[in-house]
Amino acid sequence: GQNIDQPTEMTATEGAIVQINCTYQTSGFNGLFWYQQHAGEAPTFLSYNVLDGLEEKGRFSSFLSRSKGYSYLLLKELQMKDSASYLCAEVDSNYQLIWGAGTKLIIKP
Amino acid sequence: NAGVTQTPKFRVLKTGQSMTLLCAQDMNHEYMYWYRQDPGMGLRLIHYSVGEGTTAKGEVPDGYNVSRLKKQNFLLGLESAAPSQTSVYFCASSYSGEHTGELFFGEGSRLTVL
């Protein structure tokens, strides 16, 4: 089956930059999503990558390398409200979403 | 702008009891989904629907049934609840398939089965 790997937890400082990595199996890849989920709340869409490269959207950017089976979410100018879990999800060969377990990001003052 | 609304938000059941979770969306989306989210695991698709009157099995359909009698509503039923069904359930909807576009999630329903 497909495996999505992302770190369980990360800690960063307010105002800094953090990179959250996600790796997946490369066979049958059809796209990659990032969602944000605050504790006790619903996931919300952040980004979608299907081609290699960096896509920037305000303070958040998402990068994809299809040959390496690798993506990252880059958060700049961290704010306390960015404390949340970040979910990576791959579109597999059957065009279904395979979700990672999420990375809990803790922002410290 | 209600978006996706789930009821109830919390429920405690005893083993063997039945219940229904209701999901309603006001965005005129064709696609609707039910996921469960468990600690240390990614979201898992239970059932989904590609339009009114249609349903299909996802990754973990056993023990659950669904119905989509109206386009805006997607019901998830547990006929005989088991402790393994203790989880947070999320409903979602989308304009196109989950693999092509943004999913809009409800706030979740936390179910405990004793």
* pLDDT tens column, A56-87: 999 999 999 999 999 999 999 999 999 999 99
Q: Using CA coordinates, name the residue in chain A closest to B88.
A: A40
Which tokens hold the place of B98? 């989950």
Q: How far is CA A4 from the centre of its chain?
A: 11
| Ramachandran category for residue A31: left, alpha or beta (phi over 0 → left; psi -120 to 50 → alpha) | left
At A2, is the pLDDT very low, low, confident or very high (cuts 50, 70, 90)?
low
- What was the pLDDT predicted at A1? 43
CA distance A42 to chain B (A): 5
pLDDT digits (tens, 9 = 90+) for A82-98: 999 999 999 988 888 99
Are the beta carbons of A97 and B99 separated by less than 8 Å? yes
Alpha carbons B22 and B8: distance in angstroms, whole number: 7
Name which of A40, A45, A96 is nearest B99 (Cβ-Cβ): A96
Contacts with A, B 61-100, CB within 8 Å: 90, 97-100
pLDDT 10s digits, B75-110: 999 999 999 999 999 999 999 877 778 999 999 999
Rounded Cα–Cα distance for residues A50 and A54 (Å)? 11
Q: Which 3 state secondary structure label does DSSP give A28?
A: coil
**B89, B35 contact by CB (below 8 A):** yes
